[in-house]
Amino acid sequence: MKTTSGPTTNGSGENRPLEDRLGKKVRPRRRSIGRRAFLGKSFAFGAGALGLGLVGSNETAEAITEIEEDGHGGLSPQDAALLRFPAALELLEADFWIQYNELAGVQDSEVPGGSGNKPYTEAIEVLDEDMPIYIHDNTDDEITHHQFLNAYLMSKGQAPANLDPFRTLMGSTATGVNTALIGRRLTNLTQLTLDTSWWTRYRDDSHNPDLDPHHVFPQAVPSLAVNQHTAIPRTDADIIDKKFLQAIANTAAFHFPTIEQGGNSLYPSLALRAKNEEVLRILLSIGPTETMHFQTWSDKAGNAPPLTAVDPVTGVSVTFPDLEVDDELFNKSLIMPEPCPFLRRNLPIVSIIRPTNVRAVDVLQFLTAMGLFIGQSPAFFAYMTQLAREADRARRGHDD
Average pLDDT over residues 48-68: 39
Question: Does the residue 243 lie in any domain?
Answer: yes
Question: Does the residue 40 lie in any domain?
Answer: no
* 234: number of Cβ within 10 Å: 19
| Model confidence at 225: pLDDT above 60 | yes
* pLDDT tens by residue, 202-214: 999 999 999 999 9
Nearest to 178 by CA among 371, 9, 374: 9
| Model confidence at 60: pLDDT above 80 | no
Choose the weakest-confidence range: 89-103, 274-288, 348-362, 384-398: 384-398
**What pTM did the predictor assign?**
0.84
pLDDT reported for residue 66: 52
Question: Does the residue 49 lie in any domain?
Answer: no
What is the per-residue DSSP string for 235-265? SGGGGSSHHHHHHHHHHHHHHHHHHHHHHHH
Question: Does the residue 332 lie in any domain?
Answer: yes
* Ramachandran bin of 241, using left for φ above 0, alpha for ψ from -120 to 50, beta for the remaining angles: beta
Domain range for 344: 16-27+56-393
Question: Does the residue 32 lie in any domain?
Answer: no
Q: Is the bond preceding residue 28 a cis peptide, omega within 30 degrees?
A: no
Question: Does the residue 316 lie in any domain?
Answer: yes
Question: Does the residue 44 lie in any domain?
Answer: no
Helices (H) and strands (E) in the chain, counts: 11, 2
Nearest to 338 by CA among 137, 230, 199: 199
**Interior angle at CA 131, CA 47 and CA 113, nearest 5:** 65
* pLDDT tens by residue, 26-54: 434 333 333 333 333 332 222 233 222 22
* Share above pLDDT 70 across residues of the chain, in percent, rounded to a whole number: 81
Average pLDDT over residues 2-8: 39
Report the domain count for the chain.
1
Question: Does the residue 382 lie in any domain?
Answer: yes
